[in-house]
Structure 1
Amino acid sequence: MSISFALTSGLAISRYDSMEQAFLQFLANQKQTLPTDGLGIGDDAAVLAWPADSKLVVCTDLISDETDFHLAEVTPQQIGRKALAINLSDIAAMACQPVGALLTLLLPGGEASLELAQGIYQGAAKLGEQFNCPIIGGDTNSWPGKVAVSITVLGRCPFAKPLLRQGAQPGDAIFVTGSLGGSILGHHLDFIPRVDEALALTQTCGLTAGMDISDGISIDLPRLCKQSSVGAEIDVRQLPLTAAAQQLSQKSGKPVWWHGLNDGEDFELLFTVPAADADQLLAQWTNATPITRIGTIRPERELTMLGDDGTRQPLLPEGFSH
């Protein structure tokens, strides 16, 4: 019989499944940067020490071939990196610190599955090292369909409470990190989760609400506003735009700001700051990642934008749908 194995569960495998045995051996040879009081791959479960006064933050996301990437166009390492990066972006959105990750693989059968599994693990583990988030366990299985990767990240909240989507107040300034648009040209595979920036922002000023931009501002900002029971207005002339957005604009014929609002998968931070603190934040911000004020929270529960000619118009939800 064939038995799938859990990376944290004694690594039970089928005696007939050479791929699983080879992947098991591969995992056994990987180095992990775990705290001395922690336990990762190799036992029935992973073990992490947890301070009694620290909140546990958990997020999970799944990506799959032909929805989030095209297997024929990317490396296994890029798949693994993206799978972890989108979860780290969710941890960053709540101004928390990642601690460890569980990696689950659903792989197409065949001889190439071992190399695919190894590469996905390597891509995730390399990014995990950068953010002190080791792969501490997971699971794997094969099926006749396409590759799918699910990662669950555990994080700690170093502050009194995590940053939430609720809390924005009328008059608050709306900010974003980095630049926006054109992610399909490659950024969705190599973006840097804004974990460090989120922690620095929280220490610099009193953020009122925040989230990451996964589907585009035109879809994500309404989500924040709904949780905060407010409206918002943004100025498209203030959007920080990528060269890739410019490139797509030339092909699509749509304004470059349209791509900044709607392309999705930017994985930048979208956050609000009390109006009285906005100028001080801009003056004090020395991080290499720029921040830009793009709008204002409004008491009326409607979403509007100032177009490139300064006219007010509805902010339409035209962002990216997974």
Structure 2
Amino acid sequence: MEDAFVQWLRDRLPASPRLKLGPGDDAAVLAWGARRDLVVSSDLLAEGVHFDSGSASPQQIGHKALAVNLSDLAAMAATPVAAVVSLLAPREGAGGLDALALCQGLYAGLLPLAERFDLTIAGGDTNTWSGGLVIDIVILGEAHPRGSLTRAGAAPGDALLVTGPLGGSLLGAHLDFAPRVREAIALRDAYELHAGMDITDGLSLDLSRLAEASGVGAVIDLAAVPIDAAAVRRSAKSGRSPLEHALSDGEDFELLLAAPPAEAQRILREQPAGLSITQVGECVAGAGLQGRGADGTLKPLPAFGYLHR
């Protein structure tokens, strides 16, 4: 539903001279007078979809709610500036807490993360209702001096890089991950990057979106995909392979980058910003995804991952 609705919106929203990049990327980009462009994103998290307040603490939920928004800015290599936080709390509370204590706990989780990235919490709205907890954050950032990193710049021959291991985030990492804000800015500072995004819905699905936005195809070297230990633990119970989890679990919040081959080799050699960067494939002419086995055989690869239906 989500992808179809975004396309529907893109076909109908009127053009604006202020809007340099609209719906369909990790964030919007607005012309902002004499200053660098304004980068804006919003993520809404809901009970039963993005968290379970029966097993996750309010502090963990608050941290995640802000972290996913910061990850959108990281995808664009933007510097965080401010956020507006809206809470829709269950009238009777949740997780053994009344509504007031629940909202206070959410802020206890998100404020340390805001402080870490020098982000101003500028306000928001709070209400109660008869349903589950909902938290929505609008985040504002300043574009990188070299321009915003988008999904649309990859070219045939570009190497595809990821900044860390993938899969198994539902075992806990999705609640306490560190968004790659500083790492993205450092990479944009030092290297030529053609395209980028964060991995939120699974490597294969998100790569298909980057490839489509760039008008290219993509090949994933299946043996090269870095697999998190949590994906191995999930595999023991799910009946799916660790690789399948790494390709499709989502909420890894690592960066997926496309870079020219020589620049990619420099990144891999230097391993900047304390990252463990891996090349997982390359962009090719054409369309669609392919998986390459250890013997070099290419087969079509479905773009599968988390979809809002």
TM-score of Structure 1 vs Structure 2, range by shorter chain: 0.7 to 0.9
Once residues 108 and 292 of structure 2 are traced to their aligned partners in structure 1, the CA distance between those partners, rounded to angstroms, is: 45
Equivalent runs, 1:141-160 vs 2, <5 Å: 141-160=127-146
Count residues with an aligned counterpart. 273
Uncovered stretches (5+) of structure 2, i.e. residues with no partner: 1-31
1:213 matched to which residue of 2?
199
2:26 matched to which residue of 1?
none
Once residues 210 and 153 of structure 1 are traced to their aligned partners in structure 2, the CA distance between those partners, rounded to angstroms, is: 19
Q: Is the 8 A contact 1:125 1:134 kept in 2?
A: no
In the TM superposition, residue 252 of structure 1 has moved relative to its aligned partner by 2.0
Once residues 277 and 119 of structure 1 are traced to their aligned partners in structure 2, the CA distance between those partners, rounded to angstroms, is: 44
- Which residue of 78, 91, 111 maps to 1:109? 91
Q: Counterpart of 2:138 in 1: which secondary structure?
A: strand
Do residues 314 (structure 1) and 307 (structure 2) align?
no
Q: Is the 8 A contact 2:215 2:286 kept in 1?
A: no
Once residues 74 and 307 of structure 1 are traced to their aligned partners in structure 2, the CA distance between those partners, rounded to angstroms, is: 38
Per-residue CA distance 1:199-255 (angstroms, 9 max, x = gap) = 111112110000000000111001111110000001111111111011111222222
Residues 125-134 or 262-271, more deviating: 125-134
Q: Counterpart of 1:219 in 2: which secondary structure?
A: helix
Amino acid at match of 2:126: T
Once residues 128 and 297 of structure 2 are traced to their aligned partners in structure 1, the CA distance between those partners, rounded to angstroms, is: 54
Once residues 178 and 160 of structure 1 are traced to their aligned partners in structure 2, the CA distance between those partners, rounded to angstroms, is: 24
Per-residue CA distance 1:230-289 (angstroms, 9 max, x = gap) = 000011111111110111112222221111100111011001000121211222233222
Q: Counterpart of 1:248 in 2: which secondary structure?
A: helix
Q: Is the 8 A contact 2:220 2:291 kept in 1?
A: yes
Q: Is the 8 A contact 1:204 1:281 kept in 2?
A: no
In the TM superposition, residue 158 of structure 1 has moved relative to its aligned partner by 2.8
Once residues 273 and 289 of structure 1 are traced to their aligned partners in structure 2, the CA distance between those partners, rounded to angstroms, is: 16
Uncovered stretches (5+) of structure 1, i.e. residues with no partner: 1-49
Residues 122-131 or 179-188, more deviating: 122-131
Do residues 230 (structure 1) and 212 (structure 2) align?
no
In the TM superposition, residue 308 of structure 1 has moved relative to its aligned partner by 5.3
In the TM superposition, residue 159 of structure 1 has moved relative to its aligned partner by 1.4
1:241 matched to which residue of 2?
227
- Which residue of 179, 193, 209 maps to 2:179? 193
Amino acid at match of 1:114: L
- Which residue of 61, 80, 85 maps to 2:43? 61
How high is the TM-score relative to the length of structure 1?
Answer: 0.82
Once residues 220 and 252 of structure 2 are traced to their aligned partners in structure 1, the CA distance between those partners, rounded to angstroms, is: 17
Once residues 69 and 253 of structure 1 are traced to their aligned partners in structure 2, the CA distance between those partners, rounded to angstroms, is: 23
How high is the TM-score relative to the length of structure 2?
Answer: 0.85
Q: Counterpart of 2:303 in 1: which secondary structure?
A: coil
CA RMSD of aligned residues (A): 1.4
- Which residue of 72, 81, 88 maps to 2:54? 72
Once residues 125 and 60 of structure 1 are traced to their aligned partners in structure 2, the CA distance between those partners, rounded to angstroms, is: 17
Q: Is the 8 A contact 2:159 2:282 kept in 1?
A: yes
Q: Is the 8 A contact 1:175 1:291 kept in 2?
A: yes
Q: Is the 8 A contact 2:150 2:195 kept in 1?
A: yes
Once residues 228 and 146 of structure 2 are traced to their aligned partners in structure 1, the CA distance between those partners, rounded to angstroms, is: 35
Amino acid at match of 1:198: A
Aligned residues with identical type, % of pairs: 48
- Which residue of 152, 159, 162 maps to 2:148? 162
Residues 107-116 or 175-184, more deviating: 107-116
Structure with greater Cα Rg: 1
1:45 matched to which residue of 2?
none
